Amino acid sequence: MLNDMIIGMAGSGGDGIVSAGDALISAAAREGYYAMLTKSFGSQIRGGESSCRLRVATTPVLNPGGTLDVAVVLNWEDFLRFGGELPVGTDTVVLYEKKTGVEPAAIPLKVQPGIVLAVPMADLAIKSAGTLQAKNNVVLGLLAGWFNLGREAILEGIRRKFAKKGAEVLQGNERAYAAGLAYADEHPLTRDMRLAPPVATGAKRRVTDGNEICAEAALFAGCKFFGGYPITPATEIMQYLQKDIWKHGGSLLQAEDEIAGIAAVVGASFAGKKAMTATSGPGFSLKSEVIGLASIAELPLVCVNVQRGGPSTGLPTKTEQADLFAAVFSAHGDTVRPVLAPIGVSDVFGVTVEAFNIAEAYQTPVIVLSDQEIAQRKDVIDPVDTTPFKLIERLKPTPEELAAGYNRFKITDSGVSPLSHPGMPGGSYLAAGIEHNEHGDPTSSGEMHERMNNKRLNKLNPLKTRDDLFILEGDIDAPLGVISWGGMAGAALEAVRTARAQGIPVKLLIPKLLYPIAESVYRDFFASLQRCVVVEQSHQGQLHRLIRMWVDVPRDFTSLARSGANPIPPAAIVQRLRVMAESLANHPATPAP
C-alpha cells in the first residue's frame, strides 16, 4: 500500500477533468486524508485543454510532488500539452481512453510506464448513463476501485452534486460511477497500488484555496474596504469578499480599472479604514504610482499580487515567482515597502494578517506576493487556529496632541507619527504626493526631503530583526544550505527532509519577509555554510540576486531557477544537493583570506 499518491489527469474542455479532481479531493478530505489539487488550463476564454493534479497522503502534503503515480489520459494531444506539469515515469500507471486508437506499446511518451491500460471510458459512459458527459464519473469509479480512493465518499459527493438535477440525471451518474468501479474490479492491476487508510484523528479538515483564505484573513484582520478590478488569478479574493465584507461593516468597490481600484483603497485608508486590493502582474504594474502615493503620504494598505507568468499578459493561468523585483523596486524615488510571501494555502491566513499588522504599525503599503498555484489550488487543511493572532491598529493622535497643533508627519524616534482621519476634531492635514514638512505643507527643501526620507525608510528597520518571519530547518552548523520562498518553499522543505534522511548535511531558510532584507538573519544562516542554493520559479533567480545586493554570501552561492510553468520537483532539488555534497567532499572550501 502507498502512503502518498500523485494522480494527474488531462482532457479537453467539457470532459469534466477538473470536476473529477474536485470530487476526489472532497472525498479525500471526508475520508481523513491530506491532499492538494492543482489545476491547469489553457489561456483560452472558452474550451481548450485542462488538467488537474491531485496529491493525496496520510500526512500533510507540502507540494504537488514530482512524477505521477497514476496518469489519466482522455486525449493524448491535450495530455502532452502539459509536458513537465504531468511527468510520467517508469513506475507510473497510465489509464487512457481506448477510443484514441493507440496501442499500449505505442503510447506517445518518452518513457515506457510500468502499467498501461486502454480503458473504454467513453463506451462505459454511454452504456451506463447514455451520455459522454458522465465519462468523468466513470474515471472516478476506476480510480476508487483500483486505488482505494474512498468509494463511499465519492458516491456521496456525486449524490450531493446531482441531487437537484432530477432523479434521471442523478441515477445516470451513479450508474457511470458504478460502471467504473465494476471495470476496475473485473480488471485488477498487476501490482498493489492501493492507498493506505488515513490515520484517524477525529479532526475535521476543510478543502479550500489561497484566495479564499486570503479573503477570510482580511476580514479577521479588520479590513473594512476592498477596491479592485478583476484579473486572473486574483479575482476570487474580490468575489469572496463581496459576499461577506458587508456583514463586517465594510464595503467593496469593483472599480473601472486597476488604478481606480487602488486609488479608492488609498482614500479609504485616509478615511481611517483598514483597506486592501488584490491583483496580478499586469495590474500591479498599473498600481505602482498610487502605491508610491501611499508611501509618501504614509498611509497603510495591503496589496496582494497573485503572481502569474509574465511579462505583459504572459501566461495568465500559470504560476511564477517573477514579480519580486516589481514588488521591491517598482517605485521612483527612495521608497521601501515591506514585501511578504506565504508558503502555502494555510499559511496565507497568517501572512495576510501580518501584512495588515505591519501596514498599520508602520503606516506603509505592504505587498503580499502570492502566486497562481497557492491562490487557486485546493488543499485539505486543518482548521486555522486564530487564538495566537494579535491585531494591531494604527497610532492615532491623543486629544492633547490635537489641541497643541497637530503635526501629521512629526519626526519621532520610531519614525511613526500619529495618524488622524477626517472628522477628528483638530486632526485635519494635507495628504498629497508632494514632499512636505512635518505639518504636511508642501516643500522643495532638500534638507526637509532628506529628513523625511530618513523618517520613511528608517521606521521600517525593526522589521529586519523579525526572525519569526523566517522558517529555519536543519542542523544550524550544516555546511550546505537551501533558501526558497513562496510556492516553491514546500518542494524545498520536502527535498531538504529527504536529503537529511539520506545523510546530506543541509539546512533550509524560508523567508516570509522578502523585503526589506533582514541582513542579520541571513548572516547567521550563512555563518556555517560553504555552499548554498536558492530555489525559485523565475528565469533570473530574483531572490538570489536580491540577497547578493545586501549580504555577503558564501563563495559557492548558486541558483536553481526556472521560468513559470516549469515546476521544480523535490527530486530535482535533492539531486542538486547530492552534487553539492559530493563537491564539498572532494573540494572542501578554504577559509577566506
- Which cell is 339 given? 514585501
8 A C-beta contact, residue 317 and residue 372:
yes
pLDDT class of 91 with cuts at 50, 70, 90: very high
**Residues in Cβ contact with 392 at an 8 Å cutoff, skipping those fewer than 6 apart:** 356, 357, 360, 361
What is the rounded CA–CA span in Å between residue 580 and residue 535? 14
Task: Return the pLDDT at 31.
Answer: 92
Per the listing, cell 496580478 goes with: 280
CA angle 468, 482, 320 (to 5 degrees): 85
In angstroms, how far apart are the furthest CA atoms of the chain? 87
Task: Return the pLDDT at 593.
Answer: 40
| Pairing between β-strand 68-73 and β-strand 88-97 as defined by DSSP bridges | parallel
pLDDT in tens, 412-439: 999 999 999 999 999 999 999 999 999 9
Could you count the other beta carbons within 10 Å of the beta carbon of residue 175?
A: 20
Does residue 590 register a pLDDT over 70?
no
**Residues in Cβ contact with 357 at an 8 Å cutoff, skipping those fewer than 6 apart:** 221, 390, 391, 392
- Per the model's pLDDT, the better-predicted residue between 146 and 199 turns out to be 146
- Which cell is 163 given? 441531487
Residue 292's H or E segment, with its range, is helix 281-297
Percent of the chain with pLDDT over 70: 98
- Per the model's pLDDT, the better-predicted residue between 460 and 317 turns out to be 460
Q: Please state, rounded to an integer, the average pLDDT across all residues of the chain.
A: 95
Looking at the chain, the domain(s) classified CATH 3.40.50.970 span 207-381
pLDDT in tens, 365-410: 999 999 999 999 999 999 999 999 999 999 999 999 999 999 999 9
| Alpha helices per DSSP H over 464-518 | 489-501
pLDDT class of 46 with cuts at 50, 70, 90: low
Residue 508 CA to its chain's centroid (Å): 19
DSSP 43: S
Looking at the chain, the domain(s) classified CATH 3.40.50.920 span 466-586
Class of domain 4-186: alpha beta
Instruction: Determine the average pLDDT of the residues in 517-535.
Output: 98
Does residue 589 register a pLDDT over 80?
no
| Alpha helices per DSSP H over 130-273 | 135-147, 151-162, 167-186, 210-221, 235-244, 258-270
pLDDT class of 101 with cuts at 50, 70, 90: very high
pLDDT class of 500 with cuts at 50, 70, 90: very high
Task: Return the pLDDT at 43.
Answer: 64
8 A C-beta contact, residue 559 and residue 501:
no
CATH hierarchy code of domain 466-586? 3.40.50.920
**Is the CA virtual torsion 561, 565, 570, 572 positive or negative?**
negative
Looking at the chain, the domain(s) classified CATH 3.40.920.10 span 4-186
What is the rounded CA–CA span in Å between residue 435 and residue 443? 6
What is the rounded CA–CA span in Å between residue 382 and residue 213? 12
What is the rounded CA–CA span in Å between residue 231 and residue 236? 9
What is the rounded CA–CA span in Å between residue 521 and residue 530? 17
Per the listing, cell 544562516 goes with: 525
- Of the candidates 304, 408, 296, 297, which has an alpha carbon nearest to the alpha carbon of residue 356? 304
DSSP 199: P
Task: Return the pLDDT at 591.
Answer: 46
**Residues in Cβ contact with 253 at an 8 Å cutoff, skipping those fewer than 6 apart:** 225, 226, 227, 228, 261, 264
Strand order in the sheet with 470-474: 470-474, 506-511, 480-484, 531-536, 556-561
Task: Return the pLDDT at 447.
Answer: 98
**HSE-up (13 A, CA, CB side) for residue 378:** 25
**Residues in Cβ contact with 101 at an 8 Å cutoff, skipping those fewer than 6 apart:** none
CATH fold of 207-381 = Rossmann fold (3.40.50)
- Which cell is 431 given? 495628504
Q: What is the DSSP string of 254-266?
A: E-SSHHHHHHHHH
**Residues in Cβ contact with 199 at an 8 Å cutoff, skipping those fewer than 6 apart:** 32, 58, 59
What is the rounded CA–CA span in Å between residue 79 and residue 254? 37
